[in-house]
A and B are shown apart, each in its own frame.
Chain A
Amino acid sequence: MTFEPRLTRNWSNADAVGLDGYVAAGGYAGLKNAVTMSDADIVDVVKASGLRGRGGAGFPTGMKWGFVPRDTGKPTYVVVNFDESEPGTCNNRELVEREPHRLLEGTAIAARAIGCETAFIYVRGEYLWQSIVLERAIAEAYQGGYLGGDVAGSGTRVDIVLHRGAGAYICGEETALLNSLEGLRGQPRLRPPFPAVEGLYASPTVINNVETLMNVPDIVERGADWFRELGTEKSPGTKMVTISGKVERPGNYEIALGTPFRQVLEELGGGMLGGGTLKAWTPGGSSTPMLTADQVDTGLDYESLSAAGSMLGTAAIMVMDETDCVVDCAQRMVAFYAHESCGKCTPCREGSWWATRVLARIEHGYGREVDIPLMHDVGKNTLFRAFCALADGTASVINSSLQHFSEDYEEHVRLGRCPLKDAHVDVPAEVVAS
C-alpha cells in the first residue's frame, strides 16, 4: 500500500498535536488560503474534490454546504459530529488525539464557506481526554489568531464551542445530535425540514463528521485534482479504517478508497490473530451487514461494498475467526442496538429488545425451530421500517448473520447448545418466561 499518507502524515510527529508543531508541518495553510477565497469558491472546490461524508452515509460534502440558505436572517451553524460511537470505530479519536488543529482548521473553513460565526464540536462524553485535547487546541487557536474575532487576519469571526455528549449512540444521527446540543433528549427529528434549512436552533446548519472536515484543509490548499489523485472516481481520496477483533495488529489506518479488504487485513492488520481462519467480518461497523471469508477480496469503497450487499459505513472492520460463534456475536451486536435505541419508534425499540432475548435463548440452547423463521421476520420487519437508520443496524446484523450463517443457527437449535461452547449453559430466568 504505497501512497503518500494524508490524514496520517504527521502521526509520527509528536509535536503536531500542538499549534506550533502543526503550523511548522504546514498546518493552517488551508485556512489562510480560504480567507482569501469567496464563500462560493470554497464550496466549489470542495464540490469538485468529490469529498463524501466519512460518517457513514457518504453524502457529498460540497453539495451539503451548498444547500445552506444565506438569506434567512438567521445565523448559520457548523456542527462537527465527533460522536464517534459506531462499534468497531475509533479513527476519529486518534485523528483528534494526534492532530486536533486539523479538525479546527477544517471547521473554520467550513464556517467560512457558509458564513457561520459559531461552530460547535459535539464530542461523545466517553472521549473525555480527546475533548480536553480539543479544548487546549481551541485555546491555542484563539491565541494564534485562527479562531475568534479575526480569523487568520480576515476580520471575520469564527468561534468554536465544545459540547460533550453523555453516552448515547443515537446522537451520532445528525438530527438527534442537534436535539442533544439543544439540551433535549437525543431523539432524531422528522425531516423535512432538513438541517441545512432548519437545524440547530431552527437555523441553517451543516453537520460534518471529523474525518470529513479534516480532509478539507488539504483540498482548499492543494485543490480538487490533488485530492482525486487517490481513491476511485466516485469515492475519491483516502479513508481511515479501523481494524479490530481477531487480527494481529488492530489499529487505525489510512487507505486509498477501493483497497481490497484482503490487503488491509494482511498488510495493515498483520493477518489473522494467531494464524486463525477468517470466518466473518463487518466492513463498516456493526451496523453494516457482515460478510464472509469468501468476500475477502471486496474493495473497501462505497460502490464495491454496496455490490457485495453491505456498506462502507465508518470503515470499521471487526474480524471474527473460526472460534467465534456468529450467533453469540450477533446477539451481542443486537443487544447494543437494544441498549442504544432511543425508544421513539416501535420497530427499533421492540425489535431490538425482543431479538436480543430470542438470540440469547438460541445461543444458550433454548432455541426452537420456529425461532429461526421468527428471527427472519424480526429482521424483515425492522429493516427500513424505523424512524431512523439505527434499527437498520439491528436488521443488518440479524439478516446478514442469518443469510450467511444459517447453518450455525440451525446447529444451535439442533444441539440445544452453542456448538462452540463445551456444555449447556443455564439461562437466567429473565431470558425465558416459560
Chain B
Amino acid sequence: MTLIIMISALLLLLALRVPVVIALLVPSLSYVIFEPTANIATAAQQMASGVNNFALLAVPLFILLGGLANDSGISERLYNSGVAWIGHIRGSLGYVNIGTSFGFSWMSGAAIADAAAMGRVQVPAMVKRGYSRSFSLGVTGASSLIAPLLPPSIPAIIYAVTAGVSVGALFVAGVIPALVLVATLCLMVWVQTRGREELRLPKAGWGERGRTLLGSLPAAGAAVVVLGGILSGIFTPTEASGIGVIYLLVLGLVYRAFTWKSLYRTLLSTVETTGSVLMIVASAALFGWTLARERAPQLAADMILSFTDNPFVFLLLVNILLLIIGAVLEPTAAILILVPVLAPIAVTFGVDPIHFAVMMIFNLLIGLLTPPVGLVLFVLSSVTGAPVQEVIKGVLPFFFPMLLVLVLLSLIPTLSLWLPGVLGFI
C-alpha cells in the first residue's frame, strides 16, 4: 500500500511539472516522516551518500571533457578529414556525419552535446550540398545516440553506480553495440540516398587527405588516453576522465582554440549540468532506499513472475515499458528511478546484468528522439532554427535502424558480453 501511494505520488508530481529532484524527494520525505522506524535525518544522509561515490566523480569530468572537445574544434577536423577521404561517395555527408559522431563519441558521453555540436556545423553544410534539411537533421539526431553508447558514457556511469556493476565493464560492453548502431545507420543513409547521384563531392587529392588526417589524429589520441588507460587497467574510469581533461586542455592550447571566456563558460555549463544530474542522483538514492526498505524489487519480481517466467517475454515487456517511459523521462532520471527495481528482477530471470544494462540504456536513449519529451529534438531545433516537427519528420525513418539495434541487443547477449569477456572485465 505504502508503495502504491509513493509511486502514484511520484507520477502525479512529475505530471504537475514538479522538478524530478523534488518529485522524488516528496514521497521519500513523507515516508521518513510518517514511518515510525525511520528518521528524518536519514533523508539527508541517504542523499549525501548517494553522490559521495568515487565512480560518480567521473560524471562532471566527462561532461567537462565533452565540453572541451567541443571547444577544441575536433569535430570540425574530423568532418574535414571525412570529407577529404570519402567525399566522392554518393551520400558521403551522411556517412561523414555518422563517422564524425563516432569519432567525437570517444570524448563525449552525452547525446545532447553531440547533437548541439554536429547540428550547428553539419546540418547547414549538408543542406548547402543539396541534402534535404529533414534528412540532415534526422541523421544528426540518430547518430547523436552513439555518444552515450560508446565510452565514456554518462548514462553508463549512472547505471553502474545505481546497479552496483563495474563502470569499466559497462563502458566496454557498449563498444560493439555502438558499432552495430553505426552500421545500421550507414545502411539507412545508403537506402535514403540511393540514386541521388548529385550527392557526391569532388574527389580530394592525397595531399588534402594526408593533411586533414594529420589534423584529426589528436582526436584518436584522446581515445587512446581515455580508453587505453581504462582497458589496460592503468586508470579507473574516474582517473581516465581527469587525464582526458588534461589531454584536451593541452590540445586546445596547442590549437589555440580556447579563450579564458570560453573556458569559464565551459566550466560553468559543466557545473550546471552536473548540478541538475547529480541532484537527481542524490534524491533517487533516497527514493531507492525507501523502495528497497519496502521490498519493492521483490514484490515487483513476484508480480511479473506470476505473469510469465520466460526471459524473452520479460525482456519484451521491459522494452515496451522503457520505450513509453523514455518518451517522457530523460534517460538518466529514468535509469535512477527504474534500475533499483528492474535490475534485480532481470537477475531472477537469468539475464546477465551487463547485457540488461546495455539494452536498457540504449532503449532509454531512443527516448531522446521521441516526442513529447525528446531532448535531442529540441536541441537540434534550437541550434538549426528548424521547427521541431521538421526534426521529428527527419528522425522518423531512423527509428527503423534504431529499433532493429534494440531488438538485436535484446536477443543477442553476446553483442554486449563478448568484448568485456575477452578483455577480462566480466
Do A and B make up one complex? Answer: no
Q: Which residues of A contact B (CB under 8 A)?
A: none
Q: Which residues of B contact A (CB under 8 A)?
A: none
